[in-house]
Amino acid sequence: MIMSPSLRTLPRNVSADDVADCIDRDGGVIITNLIDDAVMDELIADLQPHFDRQAFGSGFTGNRTRRCNALLQHSDRTADLMLAPAFIGAAERLLVHDGVWSGANPDGTTTHKLRMRPTIQLSVTQAIELWPGQTAQEIHRDDSMYYARHPGPPTLVQALFAGTRYTAENGGTMVIPGSHRWDDERIPRLEEAIPIEMPRGSALVYVGGLYHAGGSNVTEDERRIAIAISYTLGYMRQEENQYLAVSPERARQLPLRVRELMGYRLCSPFCGWVDMRDPMEWLEAYSCSANDDQVHR
């Protein structure tokens, strides 16, 4: 009998290295109970009024699906998910790579090479609520937005945190294990995908090259919530524009590490400046539009 490949399930105290190794091999991994119930309760309660303002989507975004964005604007608990060590640690291990700055004087004398390493940054924050009647989504790779070629180095690491339990019936995300290594010619089929089942507070963490799709919700009355958070490299464009999605007033209240990850920190050696200064300085100087002349010289 041929067994369909599946993803490994790891406990919450797993090391980031082990998570990264599993993702490198299979394309994704499940980490159980990564987020405490109390944190998830507060996050969902904070998001509920924003969900309730959303209409259902259409096509790819789902005609029985509501999506709530800009999670850092709406809930302090977003940071708990972003900074879960097994997630962000694995994202760093999978994404960060070496580069070199090479320089020589115009007369060709002292040539020097400096090793440099990019930072990672937040790409998207989005809560996804699948209602009964939602059919399966088109199978896709999230890194298509970066025009990523496969096989190739990862450009995106995403987590789908279970805001409700995930079952095969309520639309648990479908994944094709190992498909991150497929070339760009191979066409994925839904029959090759397996549904992810996991308790609330767990997370499916995967690279952008893994083929996946939201599942179909065939329950009578059970909604499925996923909270999507992703990281990319500091020199890529963010899927969700964090500078506009989150107001500067709100950004200034967020922890330093979160502000850095939002992109308010230069990516080494010099990507993302404002007036050739670190954007964090601009954020700190910003107050509504009062300092316009000072900031926008």
Contacting positions for Fe ion (CB under 5 A): 142
Q: Supply the minimum distance, in Å, between the C-beta of residue 282 and ligand AKG.
A: 32
Residue whose CB is less far from ligand AKG, 64 or 181: 64
Residue 175 or 267: the one with the smaller Cβ distance to ligand AKG is 175
Q: Which residue is nearest to ligand AKG (CB)?
A: 214
Q: Which does 128 bind (CB under 5 to 8 A by kind): ligand AKG, Fe ion, none?
A: ligand AKG
- If the CB atoms of residues 86 and 174 are measured against ligand AKG, the closer one turns out to be 174
Closest approach, Cβ 171 to Fe ion, in A, equals 13
By Cβ distance, which residue is nearest to Fe ion?
142
- On the CB side of 164, CA atoms within 13 Å amount to 18
Output the smallest distance, CB 137 to ligand AKG, in A.
6
Given ligand AKG, Fe ion, none, residue 162, with its beta carbon under 5 to 8 Å by kind, binds none
120-130/9-10 β-pairing? unpaired
211 Cβ partners below 8 Å, 6+ apart?
139, 140, 141, 175, 176, 179, 180, 182, 188, 192, 193
Nearer Cβ to ligand AKG (177/214): 214
DSSP readout, 31-57? ETT-S-HHHHHHHHHHHHHHHTTPPP-
Nearest distance in Å: CB 160, ligand AKG: 6
Residue 77 Cβ vs ligand AKG, minimum distance, rounded to whole Å: 20
- Please identify, using beta-carbon distances, which residue of 156 and 283 lies nearer to ligand AKG: 156
Binding site for ligand AKG (CB under 6 A): 128, 137, 142, 160, 173, 212, 214, 226
Contact call for residues 129 and 66 (beta carbons, < 8 A): yes
26 contact partners, CB below 8 Å, separation of at least 6 = 5, 7, 8, 177, 178
Question: Integer distance in angstroms from the first to the last C-alpha of the chain?
Answer: 69
Are 149 and 226 contacting, i.e. CB atoms less than 8 angstroms apart? no
- For ligand AKG, the closer of residues 160 and 176 by Cβ is 160
Q: How far is the CB of 212 from ligand AKG (least distance, A)?
A: 6
Q: How far apart, in whole angstroms, are the C-alpha atoms of residue 15 and residue 129?
A: 30
The residue (of 62 and 263) whose beta carbon lies closer to ligand AKG is 62
151 cis-preceded (ω within 30 degrees of 0): yes
For residue 228, the cross-strand partners are: 126, 160
Nearest CA among 173, 179, 239 for reference residue 204: 173
- Rounded to a whole number of angstroms, the minimum distance from the CB of residue 154 to ligand AKG is 16
The span from the CA of 134 to the CA of 141, in Å, is 20
